[in-house]
Structure 1
Amino acid sequence: MSTVLYGIPNCDTIKKAKKWLTDNNVAFTFHDYRKDGIDQAFLLKAEAVLGWEAMLNKRGTTYRQLDDAEKATIDRDKALALLELYPAMIKRPILLNGDSFYIGFKPAQYEGIFC
């Protein structure tokens, strides 16, 4: 079963997730949104499991820089288009383990997945 961690390398949460995976001998590949990009097919597959609201990082600077009118009218289609255009707005990390998607990082959550 393959494990892929999606995110951006300078994110503190990504660093913690990578360290946990490495320390617990979980083989994984890292998909850097900025270098490797992200496509609509991945976003649609992840959204079907996680939901667009969970995937949209409203705390990040990219989202906060949107104008208020755009934020007020955000829906699924608009959110997915924005996430493809601005991958930094995707809540991090997204973990794909086999066919299962997970979002965020908490040690207890990863223990439940891998231990």
Structure 2
Amino acid sequence: MSIPPLTLYGLKNCDTCRKALAALTTAGHDVAFVDIRAEADLPARVPAWLKAVGAEKLVNRRSTTWRGLTTAQQAGALGDGAAALLIANPALIKRPVIDTGADILVGWDKGTEQALKA
């Protein structure tokens, strides 16, 4: 059985993205890396990601970009304004976003690693 190809959306200078990419490659996955600032079609991707995982999971509330937002922008980021804000501020997207072809996984933790081993 072959391992399906994955697409990892992230930032080239993100330590978590580099760690995830290295772990996935070591595990035998064929991984395509897409830089969310330079290469990703965010207007097409972000709404689909939000539908798949929700704003609570997709918005990176630990980022410096998040801390620079007004209270109103932060409230909108977790509601109806999430897509527009994430498209305008790619660094607000929690990374990495991994598209397995069947699922969208966000972040790099034990749960994501286990989901990719199944």
TM-score, length basis structure 2: 0.85
Q: Which has the higher contact order (CA 8 A, sep 6+)?
A: 1
Q: Give the structure 2 partner of residue 91 of structure 1.
A: 94
Question: What is the deviation of 1:96?
Answer: 0.3
Aligned partners of 1:71, 1:51: CA distance in 2, in Å?
A: 15
Of all paired residues, the percent bearing the same amino acid is 33
Q: How does 1:25-104 map to 2 (within 5 A)?
A: 25-104=28-107
RMSD: 1.8
Aligned partners of 1:102, 1:64: CA distance in 2, in Å?
A: 24
Q: Is the 8 A contact 1:38 1:87 kept in 2?
A: no
Aligned residue-pair number: 115
* More helix, by proportion: 1
Gaps of 5+ in 1: none
Query: What letter matches 2:86 in structure 1?
Result: L
Q: Is the 8 A contact 1:38 1:84 kept in 2?
A: no
Q: Give the structure 2 partner of residue 113 of structure 1.
A: 116
TM-score, length basis structure 1: 0.87
